[in-house]
C-alpha cells in the first residue's frame, strides 16, 4: 500500500523524516449502481454544463465562487506554494495530558513511519519522550487543501497521528440536553450495576454482523438460492409507560446470564487420556 503523505515531524529544532501510512482499512462491502432493465453499469460522468462535453481529469480545475458570483481560479501549484509552515511538516505546537482531549474531537488515525535510517534516532527519542511523559502532542499539519489540527500518541512502538477537529468545529451540546428530570438513587445504582455487568477487558471479540449477514445474502444469490431473511417480530406498541426500574433489573439479569453462558461455553473440555480411560475400564462396578 503506497504512503498517504511524506514529510517530517518538526519537534523544536529536531526534524524527523516520516511517511504516513493508513492505520485502518475499510472492510465494508461496496455496491455498484445498475440500470434495472438491462443490468448495465451506471457511470458518474463529469460534464461541462455549457457544451455538454464529458471531461477528463486534466481538463478540470478548481475555483472559489464569491457571493457576487465571480469565479476565482486556484491552481494546484498555488496551493502547494502557499507560505504555510505545515505544508511539508507536522509541526508540534504543545504537549497536553491525554485525558484533557475530548474524544469527540479525535478523528481518523495514521501510523507515522520513520523515513530512512537517519530518522530512526530522533523518531525513537520523540516516542520515548511521549511514553515517559504520559502526555500527547498537539500538532498542525496540512493535507487535502486545508490545515488541520492533530494529536500524536504512541501505540505499539509506533507514533500515531490522529486528525482532530478545531475547537470552533465542535457544536455545543447544551441545546440538545434533556430537561431536568428526577431519577432515584435506586435507579442510578441499578444502572451502575448494569454497567459493571457489561464491562469487558478488550474489544477484539466485536464483529461487524451487518457485513457478515450481507456476505451470506450475496453468497446465496450467487448459488441461486433465496437469501436469508430476518424472522418477523411483533412491533412494540408505542406510547406505553416504561417501568424504568423493572427494565434495569431485567437488563442486569440478562447480562449476568449472558456472561455466565459465555464463560461456560469458553471453558475447555476436560481431556480424558488413554491412561485414565484404561483405569476407568478396569475399575469394578459397585454392587
pTM above 0.75, yes or no: no
The Cα–Cα gap between 237 and 278 comes to: 62
Taking the C-alpha atoms of residue 198 and residue 193, their distance in angstroms, rounded to an integer, is 9
Q: Are 249 and 197 in contact (CB under 8 A)?
A: no
pLDDT, residue 281, reads 45
Q: What is the pLDDT of residue 276?
A: 45
Residue 259 in domain: no
Asked if residue 106 is part of any domain, the answer here is yes
Confirm whether 128 is domain-assigned. yes
Instruction: Determine which of 105-119, 216-230, 233-247 has the lowest per-residue pLDDT on average.
Output: 233-247
Domain count, the chain: 1
* Residue 187 scores a pLDDT above 50: yes
Position 274 scores a pLDDT of 46
Asked if the structure places residue 115 within a domain, the reply is yes
Task: Establish if 90 belongs to a structural domain.
Answer: yes
Q: Is residue 152 part of a domain?
A: yes
Give the whole-angstrom CA distance, residue 217 versus residue 227. 5
State the residue range of the domain holding 128.
5-25+86-168
Query: Is 127 domain-assigned?
Result: yes
Question: What CATH number corresponds to the domain at position 130?
Answer: 2.40.290.10
Domain assignment of residue 262, yes or no: no
Q: Are 263 and 206 in contact (CB under 8 A)?
A: no
Tens of pLDDT, residue by residue over 46-85, are: 999 999 999 998 899 988 899 888 989 888 777 777 766 6
Q: What is the DSSP letter of 99?
A: G
Q: Which residues pair with 5 in a beta bridge?
A: 20
Per the structure block, which three cell numbers stand in for 6? 511524506
C-alpha 231 chain-centroid distance:
30
% helix / strand / coil in the chain, to the nearest 5? 35, 25, 40
Task: Answer yes or no: are the C-beta atoms of 40 and 34 closer than 8 Å.
Answer: yes
Q: Which residues pair with 22 in a beta bridge?
A: 110
pLDDT at 205 over 70: yes
Decide which of 89 and 152 is more confident: 152
Q: Residues 144, 147, 151, 157: what is their CA dihedral angle, to the nearest 10 degrees?
A: 50
Amino acid at each position: 500500500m503506497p504512503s498517504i503523505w511524506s514529510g517530517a515531524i518538526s519537534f523544536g529544532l529536531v526534524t524527523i523524516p516520516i511517511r504516513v501510512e493508513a492505520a485502518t482499512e475499510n472492510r465494508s462491502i461496496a455496491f455498484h449502481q445498475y440500470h434495472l432493465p438491462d443490468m448495465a453499469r451506471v457511470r458518474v460522468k463529469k460534464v461541462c454544463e455549457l457544451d455538454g462535453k464529458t471531461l477528463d481529469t486534466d481538463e478540470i480545475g478548481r475555483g472559489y465562487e464569491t457571493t457576487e458570483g465571480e469565479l476565482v481560479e486556484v491552481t494546484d501549484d498555488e496551493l502547494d506554494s502557499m507560505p504555510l509552515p505545515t505544508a511539508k511538516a507536522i509541526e508540534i505546537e504543545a504537549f497536553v495530558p491525554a485525558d484533557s482531549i475530548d474524544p469527540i474531537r479525535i478523528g481518523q488515525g495514521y501510523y507515522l513511519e520513520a523515513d530512512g535510517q537517519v530518522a530512526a534516532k530522533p523518531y525513537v527519542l520523540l516516542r520515548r519522550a511521549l511514553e515517559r511523559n504520559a502526555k500527547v502532542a498537539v500538532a498542525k499539519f496540512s493535507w487535502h487543501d486545508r490545515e488541520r489540527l492533530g494529536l500524536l500518541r504512541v501505540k505499539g512502538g509506533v507514533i500515531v497521528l490522529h486528525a482532530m477537529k478545531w475547537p470552533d468545529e465542535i457544536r455545543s451540546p447544551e441545546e440538545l440536553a434533556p430537561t431536568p428530570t428526577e431519577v432515584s438513587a435506586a435507579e442510578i445504582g441499578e444502572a451502575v450495576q448494569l454497567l459493571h455487568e457489561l464491562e469487558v477487558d478488550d474489544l477484539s471479540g466485536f464483529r461487524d454482523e451487518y457485513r457478515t449477514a450481507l456476505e451470506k445474502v450475496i453468497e446465496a444469490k450467487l448459488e441461486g438460492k433465496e437469501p436469508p431473511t430476518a424472522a418477523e417480530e411483533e412491533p412494540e406498541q408505542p406510547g406505553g409507560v416504561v417501568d424504568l426500574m423493572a427494565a434495569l433489573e431485567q437488563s442486569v439479569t440478562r447480562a449476568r446470564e449472558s456472561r455466565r453462558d459465555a464463560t461456560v461455553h469458553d471453558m475447555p473440555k476436560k481431556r480424558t487420556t488413554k491412561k485414565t480411560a484404561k483405569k476407568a475400564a478396569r475399575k469394578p462396578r459397585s454392587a
